[in-house]
Structure 1
Amino acid sequence: MFSLKRKTLQEALFDQFNNLLMLVICFATLYPIWYVLVNSFNDGNDAMRGGIYWWPRMFSIDSYTAVFANDGIMMAMGVTVAKTFVGTVIHVLFTAMVAYAFSRRELIGRKVYMMIGTITLFFSGGLIPTFLLIRDLGMLDSFWVYIIPAMFSFFDLIIFVSFFREIPDALEEAAKIDGANDFKIFYQIILPVSMPVVATIALFHGVYQWNDYFTGMIYINNTDLQPIQTYLYRVVAQSSSNQIAAAATGDLARTVSSQSIKLATMVVTTVPIVLVYPFMQKYFVKGFMIGSVKG
């Protein structure tokens, strides 16, 4: 028989305090999201009166209708989807290839390369040299400014290398006996058995690509190439929301406001990447732990 140890009063109070603290933190984290969601589904002009905290007072989807009717938002969403997909695929493949080479102990100069790469984790050239480099490479106002500079990450390489080193050497030796070269081994053996860490890095970089507004703000002047996050920045910080609201006609003009347009745009730009997390969570946890801790 197992005896259950009764908690002391101090332990019980400590547990209750922790539970209360976690509830407060969760509320402080989730309520702003709920507030934005509720007000985005309320009549825009009515919401300007305030007092909406838990449920819409006058339910309306007119703000979303105005957002989706705006060609600029739809163009920006398309750019974001394209750069997130293309950028993530290229980043994962390129970083994995470099990491596979780094994981081979026979690589000449491996320690020197690791030292140089580690330095880049703490020091960078700065914004102005980077801008001059991007300009000289001809990537200003180009879709590839989102892809090429983000092709490689040394932090992600470290996670890949830790995972690759745990793969049994017998797999590669058997493939070499069958006549497979390094590229065939990498694409047909290493990548298929590394899906947990591949999914982890894909999630890391996919979220970065989706949320990145700074690249579009600094390197893109062509509005047709700006991503949705840069568009959201301009909606919130500048007068774009007023222009969208002013462009609404008919009944929409009476039920939307610049504030409701801002809130609806925030929801539209956030929901897609939030919906991805539940499907990637199990791969994320498994891949991060296996790729980082050798057990």
Structure 2
Amino acid sequence: MQVVTISMSPVEVINRYGFHIIPTKFDWSGYQQVFHKKIIWISYWNTIVRTLLGTALTIVLTFLGAYPLSKKQLPHRPFWTGIIVFTMFFSGGLIPSYILIKNLGLMNSVWALVLPGAVSAFLLLLVRNFIIALPESLEESAKIDGANDLYILWKIVVPLSMPVLATVALYTAIGHWNAWFDSLLYIQNEKKQVLQLILRKIIIDGTADPSMTGVTEMMNQPTNTQAIKMATLVVSIIPIICVYPFLQKYFVKGTLLGSVKG
């Protein structure tokens, strides 16, 4: 609430009263600067593309990996599950990841932001445990009626797994929307950077890096810089606030049911 108040208050009110919840005077110049700067909308679009693409990719790959692991007839299932759990505690590190992304030719592309974390071991096990908790009699009765494995997967398992898939979608979407460090590492082109990196340079650095020309021009405007920072922050969190209420009911249910079995 304090962020919203500062974003719509003039500089003299902020300096005079300090922290306050209800605005005593309104000034929309901060939002005007944000809405009129092309760099904000370009990075906004890059973040939307990254979030939608990364979330869709994670849902598909996570479900396709979790469904076979939920079947008792999968050969060496404990071994494959152990390999996945192993990756939760050990990783290659930052330098090998950077070298891999560079050698694959993914630098300065959205794929460098969505492919490295496309599958989360935690979310994979969460979906696996949820599917294991589904009654086996549902699939058995469908097979008796003549349904094949693909029909059972698409018509029975996927609809019943919507709560946990919504949980995965929410986790992943928030993670992609808030991420900035990988964009700092892999994206050198300003027009391909995400909103959170631009926001970080505005809020933390105060004045942007010299290479960030669009941000530098915005911060050099005579408008109150605090209002610009808070207005940018408010604009960046609006999509998550709008989406979360629709997924909240699935979020709790999917997390609880997905953690019943190990």
When the two structures are superposed, what TM-score results if normalisation uses the length of structure 1? 0.80
- 1:144 is aligned with what amino acid? W
Equivalent residue for 2:218? 244
Residue pairs, 1:111-126, within 5 angstroms: 111-126=78-93
1:43 aligned residue: 10
In the alignment, which residue of structure 2 is the partner of 1:17? none
Report if the CA contact (8 A) 1:66-1:245 is conserved.
no
What SS does the aligned partner of 1:123 have?
Answer: coil
Larger radius of gyration: 1
Deviation at 1:49, TM superposition (A): 4.7
Q: 1:145 aligned to 2:145?
A: no
1:218-242 CA distance string (max 9 Å, x none): 1111111111111111212332365
1:163 alignment partner, one of 107, 110, 130: 130
Q: Residue 45 of structure 1 contacts residue 257 of structure 1 at CA under 8 Å; is this kept in 2?
A: no
CA–CA separation in structure 1 for the residues paired with 2:35 and 2:225: 15
Specify which of 228, 247, 253 is matched with residue 286 of structure 1.
253
Unaligned runs of 5+ in 2: 209-214
Asked whether 1:104 is paired with 2:76, we answer: no
Distance in 2 between residues matched to 1:111 and 1:87, nearest whole Å: 28
The 5 Å alignment of 1:76-91 reads: 76-91=43-58
Relative to 1, partners in 2 of residues 1:40 and 1:119: Cα closer, same or farther, differing over 3 Å?
same
Q: Residue 268 of structure 1 is aligned with which of 211, 235, 258? A: 235
Is there any run of 5+ residues in structure 1 with no aligned partner, and where? 1-33
Residue number in structure 2 paired with 1:6: none
Establish whether residue 58 from structure 1 lines up as the match of residue 25 from structure 2.
yes
Match in the other structure for 2:182: 215
Letter in 2 for 1:97: L
Aligned positions, number: 254
Which amino acid counterpart does residue 268 of structure 1 have in structure 2?
A: V
Per the alignment, residue 212 of structure 2 pairs with none
Higher RCO (CA 8 Å, separation ≥ 6 residues) = 2
Q: What is the rounded CA distance, in whole Å, between the counterparts of 1:179 and 1:43 in structure 2?
A: 69
Contact 1:242 1:257 in 2 (8 A): no
Sequence identity percentage = 38
In structure 2, distance between residues paired with 1:245 and 1:139 = 31
